[in-house]
């Protein structure tokens, strides 16, 4: 299958000065085979599907490096609460009622939202992961999936067994679009002895680990009181950080913590909007990047964000670092774009396959339409993408060389049916609707 994007501005995310005007990207069998001027397209693409135009910008698909997709079912259900109260009193009681069908429809709803907004890959940690994988396979998105593990829960050992079975079944499936990780929830829910079991299983299966780390001050204080150290030091001491680890949040870090993450090669998923909404704090992103830590962006779940919009996440990440540091040059637009693309790809261990528009990589590409009042005049295209673009500006979404969104229309998902089924599932889960609910 051949596909040609032509006559566009290409932002390959291979360097701040590498923008290509009147550029082209040629794709054959899902792989990028040419990136350069439109005048230099190689032969053999006469019968290819052609996309593009002078007002279009081509860039790598966004990588949502940390989310809980099926939590779309809880969107706007329990807002304006601190993290632990939000979890313990609202979210965990609902999650205890979840069925595989709930998770399937909630995930499809998330995938529809993400694809429509230009996200081509997401990292998910949740339950009923076989149903998540089914949704991913059907809609065409790329995903890194991990079954959430709670080491202090009664079913902790059964969850490890489920993870082993899930990874053996799904790792590398859907034409390579699905990869898997192990998902211990956090140091405060997974004691060291349990984490050592996770380490053993990860080594057995040859997979990475996805875990929440140092998200709140309450967490870091509790770990310090119980173990006499920080969450990062505890994970290093157990040996977990000797594996490839994706650490979500990393809000409350010391200088020593950052040095450990950099030395161990641990990657970080930054979720600025969720951290702001839950008042968890501001992650030291510029210091992490300065230390050489690979940092991606994640929306977290829609229950704590309340959307899965990576364009919003980029803008929030950049603005938050500026106001936190008092430095308007902190985290410039191009650095935020890197975090949403190649940074996320590296965080997921996929940097050799996706995250940039380069020859030899898989064709995960999006086109944004700049012919909009809020994107004119187009002085700085990268700044426009980060500071002004909106999800509805996404015109075309390509994953693995397959066009999933065309002219804003999502081809692979019956969005109306998904919304109706998600509403039905949410109604069953929450019981009597709140006074302001439309359920």
Positive or negative torsion for Cα 242, 167, 164, 155:
positive
The answer on 337 and 370 residing in a single domain is no
The answer on 71 and 53 residing in a single domain is no
The answer on 249 and 191 residing in a single domain is yes
The answer on 130 and 194 residing in a single domain is yes
The answer on 75 and 109 residing in a single domain is yes
Confidence at residue 88, expressed as pLDDT on a 0 to 100 scale: 87
Q: Does residue 238 lie within any of the structural domains?
A: yes
Q: Does residue 434 lie within any of the structural domains?
A: no
The answer on 285 and 225 residing in a single domain is yes
The answer on 292 and 182 residing in a single domain is yes
Averaged over successive runs of 10 residues, the pLDDT of the chain (439 residues) comes to 96 97 98 98 94 96 98 92 85 92 98 98 98 98 98 96 98 98 98 98 98 97 98 98 98 98 98 96 98 98 96 98 97 98 98 98 98 95 98 98 98 98 94 65
The answer on 298 and 150 residing in a single domain is yes
Long-range (24+ apart) CB contacts under 8 A made by 36-44 are 38/6, 38/7, 41/4, 41/6, 44/2
- Owning domain of residue 320: 62-347
Q: Does residue 327 lie within any of the structural domains?
A: yes
Looking at 303, 319, 347, which one is the last position of a domain? 347
Confidence at residue 188, expressed as pLDDT on a 0 to 100 scale: 96
Q: Does residue 132 lie within any of the structural domains?
A: yes
Among the listed residues 160, 162, 155, 227, the one whose alpha carbon sits nearest the alpha carbon of residue 188: 227
Confidence at residue 224, expressed as pLDDT on a 0 to 100 scale: 98
The answer on 315 and 168 residing in a single domain is yes
Token pair in block for residue 66: 């940390």
The answer on 403 and 311 residing in a single domain is no
Token pair in block for residue 324: 């936190």
Number of domains in the chain: 2
Residue 126: give its domain's CATH number.
3.20.20.140
Q: Does residue 430 lie within any of the structural domains?
A: no
Token pair in block for residue 30: 């899902």
How far is C-alpha 197 from the chain's CA centre? 26
Residue 40: give its domain's CATH number.
2.30.40.10
**Are 179 and 189 contacting, i.e. CB atoms less than 8 angstroms apart?**
no
Residue by residue, DSSP assigns 29-96 as TTEEEEEEEGGGPPSS-TTSEEEE-TTEEEEEPEEEEEE-GGGGGGTTTS-S--HHHIIIIIIHHHHT
The answer on 315 and 187 residing in a single domain is yes
The answer on 333 and 376 residing in a single domain is no
Confidence at residue 433, expressed as pLDDT on a 0 to 100 scale: 63
């Amino acid at each position: 299958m051949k596909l040609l994007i032509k006559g566009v501005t290409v932002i390959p995310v291979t360097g701040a000065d590498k923008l290509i005007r009147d550029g082209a990207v040629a794709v054959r069998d899902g792989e990028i085979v040419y990136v350069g001027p439109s005048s230099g397209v190689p032969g053999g693409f006469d019968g290819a599907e052609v996309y593009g135009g002078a007002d279009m910008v081509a860039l790598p698909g966004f990588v949502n490096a940390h989310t809980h997709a099926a939590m779309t079912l809880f969107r706007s259900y329990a807002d304006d609460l601190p993290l632990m109260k939000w979890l313990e009193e609202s979210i965990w009681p609902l999650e205890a009622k979840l069925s595989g069908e709930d998770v399937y429809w909630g995930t499809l709803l998330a995938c529809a939202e993400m694809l429509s907004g230009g996200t081509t890959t997401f990292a998910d940690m949740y339950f009923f992961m076989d149903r998540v994988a089914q949704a991913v396979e059907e809609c065409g998105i790329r995903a890194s999936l991990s079954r959430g593990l709670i080491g202090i829960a009664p079913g902790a050992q059964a969850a490890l067994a489920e993870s082993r079975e899930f990874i053996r079944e799904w790792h590398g499936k859907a034409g390579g679009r699905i990869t898997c990780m192990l998902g211990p929830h956090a140091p405060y829910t997974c004691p060291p002895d349990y984490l050592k079991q996770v380490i053993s299983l990860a080594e057995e299966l040859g997979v990475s680990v996805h875990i929440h780390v140092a998200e709140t001050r309450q967490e870091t204080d509790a770990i310090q009181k119980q173990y006499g150290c920080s969450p990062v030091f505890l994970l290093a001491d157990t040996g977990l950080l000797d594996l490839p680890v994706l650490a979500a949040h990393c809000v409350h870090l010391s200088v020593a913590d950052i040095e450990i993450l950099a030395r161990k090669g641990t990657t970080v998923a930054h979720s600025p909007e969720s951290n702001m909404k839950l008042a968890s704090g501001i992650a030291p992103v510029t210091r992490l990047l300065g230390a050489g830590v690979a940092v991606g962006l994640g929306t977290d779940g829609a229950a704590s964000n309340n959307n899965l919009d990576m364009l919003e996440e980029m803008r929030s990440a950049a603005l938050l670092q500026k106001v936190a540091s008092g430095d308007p040059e902190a985290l410039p637009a191009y650095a935020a774009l890197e975090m949403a693309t190649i940074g996320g790809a590296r965080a997921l261990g996929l940097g050799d396959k996706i995250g940039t528009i380069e020859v030899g990589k898989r064709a995960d590409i999006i086109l944004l339409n700049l012919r909009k009042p809020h994107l004119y005049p187009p002085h700085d295209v990268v700044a426009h993408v980060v500071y002004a673009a909106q999800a509805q500006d996404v015109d075309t979404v390509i994953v693995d060389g397959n066009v999933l969104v065309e002219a804003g229309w999502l081809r692979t998902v019956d969005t109306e049916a998904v919304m109706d089924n998600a509403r039905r599932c949410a109604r069953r889960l929450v019981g009597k609707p709140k006074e302001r609910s439309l359920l």
